[in-house]
Structure 1
Amino acid sequence: MCHGGDIHGPDGNGRASIPAVIDHVAEDFGIHLTSVEAIDGGVDRAAQNLRGRTESTSYAIKWSAGGSAAGLVVPSALAERGVRAVAAPVRTRDGRLWSERGGRRLSVTPWVGDRNGLDGGLDEAQWREFGTVLAATHALPVTSDLAAVLPVAGHAADLAATRATEALLRDSPPVDAIAAEARTIWTDHAARIAAVVDRVASLAVEVTPSTVCHTDPHLGNVLAGPGRMWLIDWDDAALSTPEHDLMFVLGGTYGGEHIGDRERDWFFEGYGPVTIDPRRLAYWRGSRGLADIAFLAGEAFTPGDYGDTWRARAVRLLAANLGPDGLITRALA
């Protein structure tokens, strides 16, 4: 019963109406929702994220036009291997991990977790389980099913985004004080940004992506509950190297206020012995750092649908990302 066709009743942004979501989830997955509400979908502008409820269960529902199917295939493969810190997608009535609607993927996953990992960090057991789930991810064999959907991680898109943002800030007049501040911050750090661009390009020969990675396992993508944690948002899963994931617990990125030596020790008790290659670590820190500052500067500089409150926050985050504890600085260490 999983089939294509237009999403009936979309709004002007191509988003499905609530009645359409209820109908499609029933038709494709056999789940009869009693209510659906929109949730904060983060920075993925190509996705519509919702929470659906039945009389007894809640589900995370995603209707996405972007990314690859790896975000569903990888957690499904982990769940099949007994990894409990992932939420396996609900299969459609004909056994697929997603359905196709209007050229987009419609997926349903059990709703998990009571709070975000950024809200108070993780306890000892949760940190160990965090290490365990990433170790299991890195140990996944690259089957034909995974190879068919996993992109190969690299730096080309991040360098292109950096250059495009640099050109935007250089060639376009700022429309207001927020945009002007974003341009000033970028200009003040232009030499260091250029140095990271050069370093990432030079380190690329040291990196051979061959390991299944989440690529975005910061604490904002960890949900915690009593005695449990779940690693979510696998949409950027790719073939990479372990350092791509491990950099998120080694310092210089989101959630650092909750990650000290004690937390890292707990994490690696779960993960197991590992040798970190400092050149690959610098490569991924630089590539991700460039992607983050390009996104934040572009958001701050350009008025859009998300309002000045978000643009002002993006300026603050841009400054922090370029500060002494940010990935840009650590990539040059």
Structure 2
Amino acid sequence: MSPSRVTYAPVGFGDYHWTVTDDDGRPWFATVSDLEHKEHCGQGAVAALKGLRQAMDTALTLRERDGLRFVVAPVAAADGGPVLPLDDRYALTVFPHVPGRAGEFGQRLSEAERDQVLDLLAELHGRTPPETTPPAAVEPPGLDGVLAALDESEGPWSGGPFAEPARKLLREHEATLRERLAAFETLVARVRGRGAPLVVTHGEPHPGNLILGDEGHLLVDWDTVGLALPERDLALLSDDPAALTRYTELTGRTPDPDALALYRLRWSLLDVAEFVEWFRGEHQRTEDTESAWKGFTDTLEHLATASG
């Protein structure tokens, strides 16, 4: 593929994206990942590159071997792999451009739309996991950093304009955070003790990773794919098993309320960990940090409300 036009696409949060048109007029979607900040794929650039390759190989297998047409998988590079390292820190992945209406994170799905996504998840969870499917850790990365930040919340933070406000906000919510961290550990022990089988999960099947095309919903952003309990995916649609009856009808499996609660709480704690790392480190006031600050305050308020 030789690009004739490249346009930056300010979408998503974390990676960098461009729309690319080749010499034949075909559109593509290119993503550059910062491997130093892709902890869900691995700690550090080397491990993250390996994890990203496993994830993209898994997506390719699900689409090509299993025929899951809703999986938006990357195309292979010249070396046959789906991920091309650009240097020691950045890696490139190229996807077919998918026409359709993209969803937005936080968007509320109708009951019919939710059931359509449950149809996809039931099909995904029923497949034999590809050999490349990485395990999805239950404990979110960065929790040690949250505990360290709580222990060091008395002194000033000086990484940037949001450092001190973040320290004060974290200190204000310290009791809530410690209580929710303890609740998370209790849920982990309870759910693990039940020994439920693991399946291949997408990891983040929220509306922001959905595209509605001519043949129904498609799922993008497979870098979070991993072996886990089905509730890892289901919890992002609802924490109420009664709202997930379509999944039970298709699979014969009733979602575990404790596992749903576990993954809902995990999502919030992961956000807190990422925001704490961001605001304790060197940063500037940008659109991204403004957005992150709102996410940080909203997440802590949500945890306080849920705890109450």
TM-score > 0.5 by shorter chain: yes
State the TM-score bracket (shorter-chain normalisation). Answer: 0.7 to 0.9
1:97 aligns with 2:82: yes
C-alpha distance in 2 between matches for 1:304 and 1:233? 26
Provide TM-score, normalisation by structure 2: 0.76
C-alpha distance in 2 between matches for 1:270 and 1:246? 14
Given that 2:74 and 2:93 are in contact with CA atoms closer than 8 Å, whether structure 1 keeps it comes out as yes
1:49 aligns with 2:34: no
1:38 aligns with 2:22: no
1:294 aligns with 2:278: no
Q: Paired residue for 1:232, among 212, 220, 224?
A: 220
Report how far residue 215 of structure 1 moved: 1.6
Given that 2:141 and 2:273 are in contact with CA atoms closer than 8 Å, whether structure 1 keeps it comes out as no
What letter is aligned with 2:27? S
Of 56-65 and 172-181, deviating more is 172-181
Residue equivalent to 2:47: none
Residue equivalent to 1:248: 236
Residue equivalent to 1:59: 28
C-alpha distance in 2 between matches for 1:102 and 1:152? 26
Q: Tell me, which stretches of 5 or more residues in structure 2 are unaligned? A: 42-50
Given that 1:217 and 1:231 are in contact with CA atoms closer than 8 Å, whether structure 2 keeps it comes out as yes
1:216 aligns with 2:186: no
Residue equivalent to 1:10: none
Q: Paired residue for 2:178, among 194, 197, 206?
A: 194
Cα deviation code 1:131-182 (max 9, x no counterpart): 2222222222134333xxx033221624224224435644433577744433
Provide TM-score, normalisation by structure 1: 0.71
Residue equivalent to 2:300: 322
Residue equivalent to 2:72: 87
Identity %: 23
Distance 1:270 1:320, change over 3 A: farther
Cα RMSD for the two superposed structures: 3.3
Distance 1:73 1:328, change over 3 A: farther
Report how far residue 50 of structure 1 moved: 2.3
Cα deviation code 1:270-290 (max 9, x no counterpart): 965531212222222222211
1:144 aligns with 2:131: yes
What letter is aligned with 2:6? V
C-alpha distance in 2 between matches for 1:115 and 1:266? 26
Given that 1:131 and 1:270 are in contact with CA atoms closer than 8 Å, whether structure 2 keeps it comes out as no
Distance 1:126 1:73, change over 3 A: farther
1:277 aligns with 2:245: no
Give the number of aligned pairs. 284
What letter is aligned with 1:198? A
Q: Tell me, which stretches of 5 or more residues in structure 1 are unaligned? A: 1-30, 253-260
Alignment of 1:109-128 (within 5 A): 109-118=95-104, 126-128=113-115
